Structure formats: C-alpha cells, structure tokens
Amino acid sequence: MSEVQPRVRDADDAPACTRAPDYLELKDVTKRYGGTVPAVNGVSLSITKGEFITLLGPSGSGKTSTLMMIAGFEEPTSGEITLGGRSLLGIAPHRRNLGMVFQNYALFPHMSAADNVAFPLRMRGVARDEIARRTDAALASVGLQAFARRHPREMSGGQQQRIALARALVFEPDVLLLDEPLGALDKSLREQMQLELKRLHQRLGITTIFVTHDQGEAMTMSDRIAVFNRGRIEQVGTPLEIYHRPATRFVAGFIGDSNIFDLAIGEGGATAVSEMLGSFRIAPSGLAAGTRVRLMVRPETFTIAANARPGEANLLEIAVEGSVHYGDSLLVLGRAGDIEIRVRLPNVQASGIEPGRTLRVSWQPEHAWLLPPEIEKSPAFD
C-alpha cells in the first residue's frame, strides 16, 4: 500500500517550462542478455544539461540495465547513446567522465574518507596540491570535512553515502549516476538524504540520473521521471504530470494509490457508465459514445458527501471494511459492489468511520483523469 502523494500544487497550476537542448540521448536502445525477452527494449530518452531525472520502475523493469549502459558497464545490443553529441559506445567507463554512486557505496574499507574521495583524482594523475584542494572542497560540499580521517567502519550509513557522493563529484563529472543509493538507509535518514541530494543538485547544477523503485523518492527529487515497465518506458514527465495525468494503466497504479473504474462513454460524451456503479459525470473527452475507457480517481480526491445532492458531484456509497491511520490522514478501505475502493481523508473528517459503516463520498469530474483508450494497445500489456 503506497503513501505517495505529491507535495505540490495542482497540475493545472504548474508553470509551463521550455526544455533546454538535449545533452544526453538514448536512441532506440535495446539490451539482450541471451534470453528471448530483452531486458531493455527500444528505449529512447533525451535528457537536458543540469536536469535531475529519475528512472523509476519495479525490479526487473530495465532501469538499472539502462543506467549500466550509460555508465559503460554494459554495452547495448543495439541503439545509440550520445553525450553532448558524442557517441559513448565503445568508450571505457573510466573515460566517459561520469560519476557513479552504487547502492552499497563501494568504499575502500582500508582507506580514510579523504583517501576514498581522492582516489579518482590519483587515478587521473592530478597534482598532489590540487588533489588536496579538491578533496577538501568535495568533503565540504557534503558537510563531512571533520570526518576526513575516519574509515568507513567508523561512519554511519548516511555518512558513508555522502562520502561515496563526494567521491563521485570530486573529479567534476559531466553526469552523476545514482543507482538506488538510499536503499540501505532507514526511513528517516532516507528522507533527510533525499532533501540533501536535491539541495546539492540545485547548488552544483550537475546533470543527474537517479535510479529507484521508490515512488516517494522520485516524486520528491525529480525534475522529470521516466517510468519503466517490462523493459520499456511507459511515460516521461514531471512528477505532477506523472501523478495527475498518467498515460497508461500501469503508471496510474504504480505511482501512488488509485481507484480505476472501467466505464463506457455515454451519449453526448459528458458522462461515462459503469454496469455496476451507474453513471458518472466526466470532464469533456471528445470520445464517441460506447468507447471503453478507464477513469482514475485518486483516494485524496474524494470528500465526504453527507449533504451533497445529485448533479453537484459524482456520488458513491462505500461499505467500509477497514482503515489505516497515517497520523495526518486516514486511508479508508472499502467496496462499492465488488469493486475495491480507497479513500484518504484528513483526520478532522475521519471520526466515527468504522468497519460495517456505509460511507457516502463524492468527487468533482475535473479532479479525475480519463486514461487514454489506446492504453489497451500498449506493448507493456501484450
């Protein structure tokens, strides 16, 4: 059960942005490891300079394989990867000038923090004085100058993560690659590091590619998110676009909680009909009557409708089966007919909601999202 909710304003209020020229490009990249099903299948993605983009998806979706091909640890079976107009294919990882942070940090246990950070500079033959200056600056950028002489075993997980980050930044890479670097941290420290990474990115302006399966991390940190599923990219967009306007059924279900109703467009296009739940008003769709669609209603979109009248909003009666408290809100679990429903209410509205009670809720048509009908043709659903 996901707790993902955007901590930003409504999608319609988001400012329009003009994308800068592409900097890192993947064109129809495919990777096969010997099996009949490719791990990465025709992925194309354009990333602008200075952007923070997250590759998000479940285990086995192709996101880490894509990152490894960008880093040079894997070569594509087919396709092209370019950086600043230069092909990266056939170039060894250490010659790509890309910084990499792994989930396990990969620090040298016998080296101090300063020596770990300085290691990439020594391998590049940088002068001793310059190594000292840049190492000190890198440690300062992650707030760990006082830990320069400590070894990894003497530091917490969060401190080790920051040392690994400083080591990846010290040689001024063109792109920073982060492979689930927060996965080993506890929840509180992980949230703290999310904010620190975002602040560091804003200060340095380095192009950053972040791999995770954690929707909260992606929503909190990213300029854009590329959602992976079965080796393909299902959608690329801002966190607001991904959350409020998912392009496919998979994205709608993977990013946060959602209620999805199978409906048919009614006469005139202003309503949609469920055989089990009845007729609902929808935002204008332009679709022909009878077209099969799916309507997504986020749990937090519902409000208690004790006094709502038909015609003012869409109404739904739910048989409450259980609830989950999150401190500031209550997630109500119930059913309308045979359909599972999730409703998230602020605590001030949640008193007296218990299993066995019938809860009447409503939502405004403009606050729901009609999934595109071409979803049924998506390769991810073959």
* Same domain? 191 vs 234: yes
Same domain for 182 and 273, yes or no, is no
Do 235 and 371 meet the contact criterion of CB atoms below 8 Å apart? Answer: no
The boundaries of the domain holding residue 21 are 11-97+174-253
Res. 31 pLDDT band, cuts 50 70 90 = very high
Residue 114 belongs to a domain: no
- The answer to whether residues 332 and 200 belong to one domain is no
Same domain, 331 and 376: yes
Query: Does 347 lie in the same domain as 222?
Result: no
Q: What is the pLDDT of residues 39-63, one digit of tens each?
A: 999 999 999 999 999 999 999 999 9
Instruction: Give the pTM.
Output: 0.85
Paired residues of 325 in beta bridges: 330
Q: Verify that 288 and 187 share a domain, yes or no.
A: no
Token pair recorded at residue 236: 């690329």
Q: At which of 253, 276, 296 does a domain end?
A: 253
Same-domain pairing of 214 and 93: yes
Instruction: Report residue 291 as tokens.
Output: 């077209």
CATH value at residue 48: 3.40.50.300
pLDDT tens-digit series, residues 251-285: 999 998 999 999 999 888 888 998 888 889 998 87
Per the structure, the count of domains in the chain is: 2
| Distance (Å, whole) CA 50 – CA 276 | 49
Output the six-digit token pair for 19: 């994308």
**Single residue among 253, 280, 301 that ends a domain in this structure:** 253
374 CB contacts (<8 Å, ≥6 apart)?
Answer: none
Amino acid at 156: S
d(CA 113, CA 152): 7
Q: What is the pLDDT of residues 136-175, one digit of tens each?
A: 999 988 889 999 999 999 998 888 888 988 999 888 899 9
Strand ranges, E, within 57-95: 78-83, 86-87
Q: Residue 277's domain is classified under what CATH number?
A: 2.40.50.140
Q: Where does a domain end: 253, 280, 303?
A: 253
- 51, 184: one domain: yes
Same domain, 216 and 330: no
- pLDDT band of residue 20 (cuts 50, 70, 90) is low
